[in-house]
Structure 1
């Protein structure tokens, strides 16, 4: 993808779209190599895609190929078909043929996501499940891993075997593990880093003190919270609606996070072809929304003598903590809710979410491609991201 979000040839020099958009033939460039000098072939793509949907691999993005409607992907993920039946095949070393179950207008944009990258079949054949250990990994991008110090930094160096290495300007890139934007900004000011996120609240001051150095770009992202519908109290839609009604989205977007757009839909307004809307009830004054919410909680059996109690779960980061505090304060103020905050490091947070070990959990989604379906698919019944287990057959049918 280029800087304007348009699909560009990369490892494929050209492609053909056949059968009304249900079949794609990709022609790979000549001379593609892995970083160890071994040739990169169409079979590496076939193996990568088959591994992605194979239940034995347990990829968290297995459903991505089903969302792309690649032939038999959904059946394979569900354990109802063999991986060899996936709609992708290498007709020779440089030709990849993909068959879809139905036309997908944005299919080529989906190919920029790492789940559909190739894997080195020769390394997997040699090392098996250890193929992805740093000492065994090979690469086909602009950089290769040079050093990885857990929770500290990752260092990557230029890959001389990369297909466009002559245009790779940087010789080395170092990524630092920082748990808040303030630290990153302070290190930038000290000349210790070249690029970092900045605290949103300091942006006006940064624009004055560092003119020309700040870049503000739209991001295809939504920040939201997931109810666990399999546990009380959020198995009751009245409780869920009460909390939904009493969130001051403008306050959190502008004052807590800064430079954010209040979310009235899961899909952000910057997504191509999408027109956001605001539900009538969110346009009502907060006083009316609070009255509606209190009535719903009373119907559900909660009042001052029996207040709503629950735990709000988020991964460790300064802005996530500020958001959680703001939300819990609002719900206590408006509804008398007693909210306990729980935070974890990223990996344990993900594990807990997947295991359903939460009541209300922070979640974020960055578009994997520029279409509303990237966001909407996260709430399908079979989506790996649907950790709250919301299910609606009509919703699923519309997306299919």
Structure 2
């Protein structure tokens, strides 16, 4: 376990933070918000962000708008869908694979060109049509798996587009929160070059990018012509800085280099409060877990091993390590969630039962269980991955499981995740540590438990395949009635927990810290946050 931070290490971190190139001086009187992200680089700015949901949070929903958006205006209930660039959407009652979206009129891109149905079709091709001349493999790698239901699309008129899904899918509207619309006209203006577009992007969002320095910072300015007056920023400039080390982020805030940090070091919470900074937390749809490999030869093909690892983890001890900034997991969703169901396997700390199961599976002192796990140094929703993994490593050692880590940056881990356990880069890796969102059925369950989404076609890293699960998922996707959806998803989650398909650890509470400079900010129950509505003192 890493040693706790001391005043000496913190001051050393402050010195390191101050050696980073500080953001250029703002114009006189300019109001600027400076944020330290957990990402190691600026997420892609082209409309298909990388770096997981943190990418969508910082360079996605700031520069761009989706067709269907999240309502991030409240903190007292989970975020819900709301109209974005699409004013309305509906499914054809006679053909439930056909969706019609009516688009907003009068919306323009940052370059002044008009947003319309042709632009939406162009963006779908950018991501999903490998033969389109403007297809971008980088953006496609980030978003294609999140639009897995799309089969085809047709422009009906300038304000209407029709999208056909591969099969009826009641959850399809959630996928459209990931379709950010970039400007076809700007792509032409920069010479049909996505790299040049990244430096001078054009979306419809509340901010415009004016400066991009890879691995150092991005500077965005308010878009005074933004189509939604309620979300026109009340400050002038937003500066995003990558800082993957928690100690560096804390030092940057304490030294005044930034005004806001993501994922603070837990043992510095009291020091941050004492310095007058505000700690923001809220439950949100998240879990932190290990995805096991189900390939032949993996120890996790044996349910007893999967259950033993779940029982070996001391989640309450981990909560103490994180200064209370987590909720122990009992599955992918909390027990009070309508999708939780009634699993009979209870996640708890029971090392004696873990040892018994391992012995039953053929492991013990004479044949110890050893394997390697891919983990990240930081990342969107990854909380404090190094400290947490080292703590869990000790828990597992206590029951006879020896794990070794393959440590990498979050962006690299995402690439390994998308490649799948069978990929050459993942040879020798038996599990992958990642966080994920549970804000919709696809992200919570389907992308992990459906054989259709086995990587590289989706996010089923471990290559899990079971026809019973596939059939239940297909049945849930046909349920357009909410109560029936909830019943089927609860049945799916019950089976997943009883089969221990993942090794669940905890739910994050999304901690971030803001200085006195930040006046008003809504901390929603979401992976995302509306930076456009933040106000500064």
- Same topology, TM > 0.5: yes
Instruction: Tell me which residue corresponds to 2:452.
Output: 382
| 1:194 Cα offset (Å) | 1.9
1:6 aligned onto 2:71 = no
| 1:310 Cα offset (Å) | 1.6
In structure 2, relative to structure 1, the CA distance for the partners of 1:91 and 1:395 (3 Å cut) is: same
| 1:325 Cα offset (Å) | 0.8
Q: Aligned equivalents of 1:382 and 1:102: distance in 2?
A: 12
Instruction: Tell me which residue corresponds to 2:5.
Output: none
1:239 aligned onto 2:305 = yes
Q: Aligned equivalents of 2:267 and 2:283: distance in 1?
A: 17
Instruction: Tell me which residue corresponds to 2:489.
Output: none
1:293 aligned onto 2:357 = yes
Instruction: Tell me which residue corresponds to 1:267.
Output: 333
Q: 1:361 aligns with which of 426, 432, 435?
A: 432
Q: 1:306 aligns with which of 360, 364, 367?
A: 367
Which shifted more, 168-177 or 126-135?
126-135
Q: 1:61 aligns with which of 139, 143, 146?
A: 143
Instruction: Tell me which residue corresponds to 2:441.
Output: 372
| 1:254 Cα offset (Å) | 4.3
| 1:100 Cα offset (Å) | 4.6
The SS at the match of 1:30 is: coil
Instruction: Tell me which residue corresponds to 2:415.
Output: 351
1:258 aligned onto 2:324 = yes
Give the count of matched residue pairs.
372
Structure 2 unaligned regions, length at least 5: 1-69, 132-136, 475-537
2:319/2:328 contact within 8 Å kept: yes
- TM-score (ref. length: structure 2): 0.62
1:177 aligned onto 2:242 = yes
Q: Aligned equivalents of 2:84 and 2:252: distance in 1?
A: 35
Instruction: Tell me which residue corresponds to 1:342.
Output: 406
Instruction: Tell me which residue corresponds to 1:49.
Output: 124
Q: Aligned equivalents of 1:105 and 1:333: distance in 2?
A: 45
Which shifted more, 141-150 or 249-258?
249-258
Matches within 5 A, 1:1-400: 1-2=70-71, 3-4=73-74, 5-15=79-89, 18-19=92-93, 22=96, 23-55=98-130, 57=137, 58-66=140-148, 69-70=149-150, 73=151, 86=152, 88-100=153-165, 104-113=169-178, 116-124=179-187, 127-128=191-192, 130=194, 133-164=197-228, 167-197=232-262, 198-203=264-269, 206=272, 210=276, 213-230=278-295, 232-234=297-299, 236-237=301-302, 238-256=304-322, 258-268=324-334, 273-275=338-340, 279-283=344-348, 286-297=350-361, 299=362, 302-317=363-378, 319-335=384-400, 337-353=401-417, 354=419, 355=423, 356-357=426-427, 358-367=429-438, 370-379=439-448, 380-383=450-453, 384-400=458-474
In structure 2, relative to structure 1, the CA distance for the partners of 1:17 and 1:291 (3 Å cut) is: closer
Q: Aligned equivalents of 1:21 and 1:268: distance in 2?
A: 35
| 1:50 Cα offset (Å) | 3.3
Q: Aligned equivalents of 1:210 and 1:277: distance in 2?
A: 44
The SS at the match of 1:196 is: strand
1:154/1:176 contact within 8 Å kept: yes
Q: Aligned equivalents of 1:7 and 1:185: distance in 2?
A: 33
In structure 2, relative to structure 1, the CA distance for the partners of 1:395 and 1:14 (3 Å cut) is: closer
Q: Determine which structure has greater relative contact order: mean sequence separation of CA pairs < 8 Å that are 6+ residues apart, divided by chain length.
A: 2
| 1:278 Cα offset (Å) | 5.6
Q: Aligned equivalents of 1:181 and 1:389: distance in 2?
A: 33
In structure 2, relative to structure 1, the CA distance for the partners of 1:185 and 1:287 (3 Å cut) is: closer
2:222/2:237 contact within 8 Å kept: yes
Q: Aligned equivalents of 2:298 and 2:169: distance in 1?
A: 39
Structure 1 unaligned regions, length at least 5: 74-85
In structure 2, relative to structure 1, the CA distance for the partners of 1:147 and 1:218 (3 Å cut) is: same
| 1:107 Cα offset (Å) | 4.2
| 1:315 Cα offset (Å) | 1.0
1:267/1:376 contact within 8 Å kept: no
1:265/1:277 contact within 8 Å kept: no
1:130/1:136 contact within 8 Å kept: no
The SS at the match of 2:177 is: coil
Q: Aligned equivalents of 2:416 and 2:164: distance in 1?
A: 36
RMSD: 3.1
Q: Aligned equivalents of 2:235 and 2:212: distance in 1?
A: 19
Task: Give CA deviations for 1:19-57 in whole Å, capped at 9, x if unaligned.
Answer: 279344333232211111111111111222233333564
